[in-house]
Structure 1
Amino acid sequence: MTPLFIANGNVLDVHTLTMHAGHSVLVEGGRIAAIGAGLQAPEGAEVVDAAGLTVMPGMIDCHVHTVASSFNLGNVARLPNVLTMLRALPIMQAMLGRGFTSVRDAGGADWSLAEAVRTGLISGPRIFPSGKALSQTGGHADFRPRSDELDLCSCVHKLGNIGRVVDGVDACRIAVREEILKGATQIKVMASGGVASPNDPIGNLGYSEDELRAIVEEAGNANTYVMAHAYTPRAISRAVRCGVRTIEHGNLVDRETAELMAAMGAYMVPTMITYEGLANEGEKYGLPALSIAKIEGVRGPGRQALEILANAGVKMGLGSDLLGETHYLQAEELRLRAEVLGNGPVLQQATLIGAEILGHKGELGEVTQGAIADLLLVDGNPLHDIQCLLDQGAQIRAIVKDGRIAKNTL
């Protein structure tokens, strides 16, 4: 691989939230080899002039659904696998174009999509797939309509289904082992009701504690962890006590539950922007009426949840959780959070804390020697104006992923 030399940029240190003016970055073998003010480009290196631009880490979205090409997840679940894959490609390409160089897929994407990106077959962010999210019968990933007779769920076999229905301790153990075997890098579990599914109110719990503990144990046996969809204090505290490492959404969290999360070292991945998309565009694009009716119950408390979590010292990763036609809103999650928490903490959530959640601390989410060279060259200073990271990456002039230029408008 030809060395890459990014010259004379303003390098953002996301640890200290400071800018180092006039620094260059040398990339060799896909990693950052050196950073400094007096560096010289080695002979034969590709040189990019970053004068006046911010050089910052590629961003990490810890909650996406790359195969969710429609609001109506039940319809997506019935698509042929090849069509599901083809509809996912522009979604992934656009994520990378917005500056998200790594994403954690929270249900749907599998090893094949991740491998296609890794090998350069398709363009997109580095994917950490969860495979199929685990749901109890009637839970958040059971999209079968009410009927006199329930058809057998074909969710295990369809790429477009974000989850699989599995019940009982032994069956849950087998399901975890199967998802790991198929290439999941972490396990997703539906620990409460949700918005996009038809028959599970938000306040419902998902799985028994015995089932949750078995899922956590099996993930731990494979040296990975469990992420849990959960909204209410009851669902969140129960999941954390059962060993779940990251909670997804958590809109209704209270102070006591947030303090429990902090004490247990659990992470939260709020997903504020998806509720704006669901509320504003869901009906137009086919979100079922039962789901639309659930939105307001979690949309309003989301901002307050950010404050509660921050005050309790809970580490938060960035997540968007968008569906269908609203994937374009992804970077707006930065803006919504910055309005509550400020630009600096949100940038850390989208980089450093995201890398911790993925298990790649020191490798992703920072511009330091030895880190993987995922870099953004931004026309603007995101510490002062988060807007420069919005607008579909219009002010992100260049994107480097794994040491290779993925976008260059300079």
Structure 2
Amino acid sequence: MALTVFKNARIVDGTSPDLPDPVDFVVENGRFAEVQTASKVTGDDEVDLKGATVMPGLIDCHVHVSVVSQDARHSAELPSSLIAFQAAERMKRMLMRGFTTVRDAGGADGGLKRAVSEGWIDAPRLIISGKALAQTGGHTDFRPPYHFGSTAHYERNLGSMGRLCDGDAEVRRATREEIKGGADFIKVMADGGVASPADPIGYLVFSLDELKAIVEVAKGFGTYVAAHLYDDTAINRAIDCGIECVEHGNLAKDATISRMAREGIRVVPTNVTYDVISRMGAASGVTPAGLERCESVREAGLERTRKFYEAGVVAGYGSDLLGPLEASQSDEFALRARVIPPHAAIRAATVDAAKVLRREGELGEISPGALADFIVVDGNPLEDISVLTGQGERIPLIVQGGVAKKNSLAI
């Protein structure tokens, strides 16, 4: 598309609860060049959308594209070449659901990001943390409790979500290495989690000095730190050390939520992962202990999603689904719409997601100068958010950077 004019589009980006009047917009050289009523610009192509709903390309702020098994340890031990092919297929499915950008929160490396940016595979734009930083006995230490052998044989594998580092020197080196390898931001495991065997939720694993060292190095490179966090004490502790984005946040107390709003701390709730695991039970591959932990945070996650919205905390869209559970990626929309207005659930995957990514004005909006990522939706998601769920069946047009990745428009 050199210059294409799209006419009669109703743009829904989540900033308003109301369906707007139709407008025209112009795409030129991969970016939006103009958005206005009744554009007089003529292009190489003109597409009359006849009042159809158009949305910015969706953004998922928490994926693990290279963790191809629900058993994260198994994924970490698979050959990287095999993982690369499976990750490519996973990302293509994400793109076909309308997600034109995803933020990988542990696993994907600079090579996979380069394969996407150079066009070797059709995939969402990939923003990565590299390997998430964890510590001995913490989240992503998947060794059984009485095994103390080295994890070096799998930490650099593409299928590994994280790497272990202990002490000031190791965490600084690990942070530098991930950024050197292509990380756009740093992810730390600053709390226990659902999936790994030795780290209960509320497990204050990294020391304050270690967290501060990671933040110092990341900021020195001009980027930020996001942290895996559930427990209220762990959240405050991490914010004290300088982290800027909370991943999950299910057990944040009201005072902490107010603090996050006041200090501009972002959050990425991931309700769908607990919902899917809860419904599948043992078939999800999660251990009995993990299932118990999942239930302890599932309903609290939805409640906090509502409270984050009411407090004005910027909350990005996140799915956090490993292996085949990734098929439920879009169900997060429906879950959020149970507790917040539909337009706010949409905004989490557009404007607010761009804020989480620090890519405001470039992603998540249809405005002059932004990258021309957009989708056409059959129906009005403000009235029926289920049109965004499934595998993209009700998304006939997906455009990324001005290039149509899917086009089944019947116009």
* Structure 1 residues 105-139: Cα deviation after superposition (integer angstroms, max 9, x where no partner): 00001122222111211011001011000001011
**1:6 matched residue in structure 2:** 6
Task: Tell me how far apart the structure 2 counterparts of residues 77 and 282 of structure 1 sit (CA, whole Å).
Answer: 23
For the residue of structure 1 that corresponds to 2:338, the secondary structure is helix
**In structure 2, what is the equivalent of residue 309 of structure 1?**
308
CA distance in 1, matches of 2:322, 2:306: 26
1:254 is the counterpart of 2:250 = no
Inter-partner Cα distance in structure 2 for 1:170 and 1:118: 33
SS in 2 for 1:309: helix
Residue in 2 aligned with 1:109? 108
Structure 2: distance between partners of 1:22 and 1:176: 47
1:17: Cα distance to partner?
4.6
How far the C-alpha of 1:300 sits from its partner, in A, is 2.1
Q: Which residue of 2 aligns with 1:269?
A: 268
Residue 217 (structure 1) aligns with:
216
Residue 57 (structure 1) aligned with residue 64 (structure 2): no
SS at match of 2:200: coil
Distance across 1 between alignment mates of 2:11 and 2:258: 35
Q: CA deviation at 1:41?
A: 5.8
Could you tell me whether the CA contact under 8 Å between 2:107 and 2:132 is conserved in 1?
Answer: yes
Structure 1 counterpart of 2:88: 89
| Counterpart Cα distance in 2 of 1:18 and 1:5 | 24
Superposition map of 1:73-152 within 5 A: 73-147=72-146, 149-152=148-151
State which drifts further: 268-277 or 111-120: 111-120
Q: Summarize the Cα distance change of 1:383–1:361 in structure 2 as closer, same or farther, 3 Å threshold.
A: same
Identity of aligned residues (%): 44
Larger CA deviation: 140-149 vs 254-263 = 140-149
Distance of aligned partners of 1:389 and 1:13 in 2 relative to their CA distance in 1, 3 Å threshold: closer
3-state SS of paired residue (1:116): helix
Aligned CA RMSD, in angstroms, stands at 1.6
What's the CA shift for 1:187?
A: 0.2
Letter in 1 for 2:27: V
Q: Distance in 1 between matches of 2:71 and 2:284?
A: 8
**Distance in 2 separating the partners of 1:167 and 1:149:** 14
Paired position in structure 1 for 2:27 = 27
Contact 1:13/1:20, CA 8 A, preserved across alignment: no
Aligned residue-pair number: 409
1:329 aligned partner, one-letter code: S
Q: Which runs of 5+ in 2 are unaligned?
A: none
After superposing the two structures, state which structure 1 stretch, 273-282 or 393-402, moved more.
273-282
Is the CA contact 2:351–2:360 (under 8 Å) kept in the aligned structure 1? yes
Q: Say if 2:13 and 2:350, in contact at 8 Å, map to a contact too.
A: no
Amino acid at match of 2:316: G
> Which amino acid in the other structure matches residue 394 of structure 2?
Q
| TM-score, structure 2 normalization | 0.96
- 1:202-351 aligned at under 5 Å gives the runs 202-281=201-280, 283-351=282-350
5 Å matches for 1:369-380?
Answer: 369-380=368-379
Other-structure match for 2:398: 399
CA displacement, residues 305-327 of structure 1 (integer Å, 9 cap, x when unaligned): 12222233211111110111111
Q: Give the Cα separation in 2 of the matches to 1:264 and 1:242.
A: 13
Cα deviation, residue 398, structure 1: 0.2
Contact kept, 8 Å, 1:267 with 1:357, in 2: the verdict is yes
For residues 150 and 360 of structure 2, what CA distance do their matches in structure 1 show? 44
Distance change (3 Å), C-alpha of 1:8 and 1:237:
same
CA distance in 1, matches of 2:337, 2:79: 40
Q: Give the secondary structure class of the aligned counterpart of 1:203.
A: coil
- CA deviations 1:6-38 (Å, max 9, x no partner) are 222222354345544332221001000112232
SS in 2 for 1:258: helix
Unmatched 5+ residue regions in structure 1? none
**Aligned AA for 1:375?**
F
The superposition leaves residues 202-256 of structure 1 with CA deviations (integer Å, 9 ceiling, x where unpaired) of 1211200110011011110011000000101001111111110000111111101
Deviation of 1:149 (Å): 4.1
Distance 1:239 1:132 in 2: 19
Aligned equivalents of 1:355 and 1:59: distance in 2?
10
Task: Answer whether contact 2:333 2:385 (CA < 8 A) is retained.
Answer: yes
Amino acid at match of 1:250: G
Q: Kindly provide the CA deviation profile for residues 40-84 of structure 1, in whole angstroms up to 9, marking residues without a partner as x.
A: 5635x2333311311110111100010121110000000000011
The amino acid of 2:231's aligned partner reads T
- Specify the alignment match of 1:185 in structure 2: 184
- Aligned partners of 1:148 and 1:383: how far apart in 2? 51
Tell me the residue number matched to 2:15.
Answer: 15
What is the match of residue 38 of structure 2? 38
Q: Distance in 2 between matches of 1:317 and 1:127?
A: 16
